[in-house]
Amino acid sequence: MESLVMYLLKANVVMSILFLFYVLLLRNDKSFKQNRFYLLFSLVLSLFLPLLPELSSPHFEPIQRQITTANPLNGLYTTIGNSQMITNHVNNAYVVVNQGFTRPSLIQILTGVYLLISTVLLVRSIIKVLKISILIKNTDKQFIDGIYYCAFDGTAPFSFFNYLVINKELFTDSELRQIIVHENVHIRQSHSIDILFVELVHAILWINPLLLYLKRCIKLNHEYIADHEVISSGVDKKNYQLSVLYNSLKVSQVYQLTNLYSSSKIKLRIKMMNLKKSPNPNAYKYAFVLLLVAANYLLINPLSASGLHKNAIETTQNFKKFEGYYAMKGRKGALIQIIATNKSVILKQLWDNRKIDFTATGPLTFSTKENASFTLQFTNDNAGRITQILAFGKDVWVKNDNYHLPVEVKLIAQDLKKFEGYYELKGQKGTFIQISSTSNGLVLKQLWDNEQIDFAAKSSLDFFAKTNPGFTLQFTSDNAGGITQVLAFGKDVWVRNNDGYHAPVEVKLTAQELKKFEGKYEFTEKEGTFIEITSTGNGLVLNQLWDNKQIGFAAASPLDFFAKTAPGFTLQFTGNNSGGITQVLAFGKDVWKKVN
């Protein structure tokens, strides 16, 4: 969506600049054929110039990674139990219940409205063409010298491709000859193609108000060309002007997609007929167009301009001042490192060690070669010291000159042993992690998906993830030295609860007992969101109707079930006095009411 919006913005900028040049310098010039080419060229350029690649990057490969994920472990450590989701483990992935019902963003809504209006305009143009085609089909035709002369008495004279529609009874022989010469010019020079093309462009770039004026200028220039050809054929200028003026008063029905002999703007046409051609050549105006095209290209692709000077930037820029560690504002433990080279800066994501290369586009701005919109904007203080980065235009990373990578310390096996046990997420009953010790440190196991993360000690109570030093565990002990809880990632408290966790044991229920759970269930917090439960010989199957993913469950009791692949994912059914099922509590949090 964003790329479409950017394309439309660039296309409208190009068209506006080129058309304003026409209005200011070319509109009153008698070089009608050159002006026709220029106006069409402006439209073509508006459509295709934004699609051209930048000079510094011959191919667009939008970067698929971004440094500011909500969780630096990129999914290994997940805070579960969001009130709007049912979390389940299918192929080691959590599935959000409203995945298929994501509310569209404002930009998606506006883009949809824009495309809808474009479609309406396109359909309207097609209908106009069909109306003209039907009209022509119902006329008596005469084919002479490549042109169909169509007799019809319900409209003003007009031409459409190689069809000339005219009521000969309304005009004198002299007027008829002038009209035929005039319309022949439109036909021979294929002016109808111009009109259809500008209608197509209007359907794409309709939001630009200048386009309506440009459409009128193209049609008016067609009339200038035809008027000039008629007068050049030997027709008396004054008589012709009077004929045009007189016949404009006889116009009844007109068709917008046609070339009209007696069109509007009569005053402008007569003024242009009487205008003397300038003795000075105007080639310089059209030569200036080349500079205008280049300026447009550099305007809509700013990296192209900066790329021409990148060597100068690289040789004068002191990249060393950008080096250091940066912490994400509002997200404790999320860290990146900036490393300087002689030609660029490298961003290193400390949670996965991925590196992204950035080249300078200005004294304090950088972007990737793959995607010009992925930028780093540095901020400095009055002394010139770098203080922070704005990444991707939205996320702030504050420079931390006091940060140092943690140094691993060795703890003996007995010291590590005391951390072992089960820990329950505070405020989220039933959500557990398990911590076990090894000879090198600790292992955190997420019991909802069995993912494991290795930790090394940096003090007697503090640990850091080996793959991401920003992901920490800070244990708390009581007066006797026993571990009571752990603060994970600087925000989530897990309380030690060895007695609270018990691995579920499967019990066997009969087919009749399982049958009563079958049916469709609706999410109480999101109307129209359903799951369906069916029974098998071994348990239950939950089918998410928004994506058709299925999860198998085994019984832990007559009303309680656990997911076979993720025992932490539970279903707790509620029955009525007659034994019928009324609802199910999924994952200890989300209520689904039975609807059939």
For residue range 27-50, list pLDDT tens digits in order: 888 889 999 999 999 999 999 998
Residue 549 has pLDDT above 60, yes or no: yes
- Measured in residues, the chain has a length of 596
Q: What tokens were used for 49? A: 């110039």
Q: Taking residues 213-223, report their average pLDDT.
A: 94
| Long-range contact pairs involving 493-500 (C-beta distance under 8 Å, separation at least 24) | 493/425, 493/426, 494/423, 494/424, 494/425, 494/426, 494/433, 495/423, 495/424, 495/426, 496/421, 496/422, 496/423, 497/422, 497/423, 497/424, 497/432, 498/421, 498/422, 500/422, 500/424, 500/432
Question: Burial, 337: exposed, middle or buried (Cβ in 10 Å; 0-12, 13-18, 19+)?
Answer: middle
Task: Calculate the average pLDDT of the chain.
Answer: 82
Contacts of residue 221, Cβ cutoff 8 Å, sequence gap at least 6:
32, 35, 36, 39
Q: Taking residues 340-346, report their average pLDDT.
A: 87
Q: Taking residues 481-490, report their average pLDDT.
A: 90
Note whether 390 and 396 are within 8 A (CB). Answer: yes
The listed range with the strongest mean pLDDT (293-307, 360-374, 415-429) is: 415-429
Q: Which residues are paired to 101 by β-bridges?
A: none
Residue 100 has pLDDT above 80, yes or no: no
Note whether 572 and 585 are within 8 A (CB). Answer: yes
pLDDT band, very low/low/confident/very high, at 66 (cuts 50, 70, 90): very low
What per-residue confidence (pLDDT) applies to 79?
34
Note whether 431 and 382 are within 8 A (CB). Answer: no
Residue 61 has pLDDT above 70, yes or no: no
Cα 62 to Cα 298, 370, 410, 548, distances in angstroms: 20, 6, 44, 31
Residue 480 has pLDDT above 70, yes or no: yes
The listed range with the strongest mean pLDDT (117-121, 286-290, 297-301, 383-387) is: 117-121
What per-residue confidence (pLDDT) applies to 328?
87
Residue 98 has pLDDT above 90, yes or no: no
Note whether 11 and 47 are within 8 A (CB). Answer: yes
Q: What tokens were used for 79? A: 């805070």
What per-residue confidence (pLDDT) applies to 68?
35
Note whether 574 and 583 are within 8 A (CB). Answer: yes
Say what percent of the chain tops pLDDT 70: 84
Region of residue 73 (left: phi > 0; alpha: psi -120 to 50; beta: else): alpha
Note whether 40 and 194 are within 8 A (CB). Answer: yes
What per-residue confidence (pLDDT) applies to 258?
65
Residue 590 has pLDDT above 60, yes or no: yes
What per-residue confidence (pLDDT) applies to 289?
81
Q: Residue ranges of the alpha helices (H) in 235-282?
A: 237-248, 266-274
Say which residue, 304 or 474, is predicted with more confidence: 474
Q: Which residues are paired to 575 by β-bridges?
A: 581
- The residue written with tokens 């010298």 in the block is 145
What per-residue confidence (pLDDT) applies to 256?
63
- The residue written with tokens 């509002």 in the block is 330
What per-residue confidence (pLDDT) applies to 203?
95
Say which residue, 102 or 132, is predicted with more confidence: 132
Name the CA dihedral angle for 589, 590, 595, 596, rounded to a multiple of 10 degrees: -70
| Distance (Å, whole) CA 468 – CA 349 | 9
Residue 395 has pLDDT above 80, yes or no: yes
Q: What tokens were used for 536? A: 């098998």
What per-residue confidence (pLDDT) applies to 86?
31
What per-residue confidence (pLDDT) applies to 432?
85
Residue 307 has pLDDT above 60, yes or no: no
| Distance (Å, whole) CA 421 – CA 498 | 6
Note whether 159 and 165 are within 8 A (CB). Answer: yes
pLDDT band, very low/low/confident/very high, at 63 (cuts 50, 70, 90): very low
Amino acid at 576: N
What per-residue confidence (pLDDT) applies to 317?
53
Say what percent of the chain tops pLDDT 90: 49
pLDDT band, very low/low/confident/very high, at 406 (cuts 50, 70, 90): confident
What per-residue confidence (pLDDT) applies to 501?
75
Contacts of residue 476, Cβ cutoff 8 Å, sequence gap at least 6:
461, 483, 484, 485, 486, 487
Residue 92 has pLDDT above 50, yes or no: no
Name the CA dihedral angle for 253, 259, 260, 266, rounded to a multiple of 10 degrees: 130
What per-residue confidence (pLDDT) applies to 192?
95
Residue 82 has pLDDT above 60, yes or no: no
Residue 343 has pLDDT above 90, yes or no: no
Q: What tokens were used for 255? A: 């068709």
Least confident of 181-185, 368-372, 510-514: 368-372
Q: What tokens were used for 445? A: 């196991």
What per-residue confidence (pLDDT) applies to 342?
81
DSSP string, 300-361: H-HHHHHHHTHHHHHHH--GGGG-EEEEETT-TT-EEEEEE-SS-EEEEETTTTEEEEEEES
pLDDT band, very low/low/confident/very high, at 54 (cuts 50, 70, 90): low
What per-residue confidence (pLDDT) applies to 313?
47
Nearest to 43 by CA among 187, 217, 166, 165: 217
Q: Taking residues 65-93, report their average pLDDT.
A: 33
Q: What tokens were used for 424? A: 């329950």
| Distance (Å, whole) CA 39 – CA 41 | 5
For the question of whether the overall pTM of this predicted structure is more than 0.75, the answer is no
The listed range with the strongest mean pLDDT (290-294, 429-433, 513-517) is: 513-517
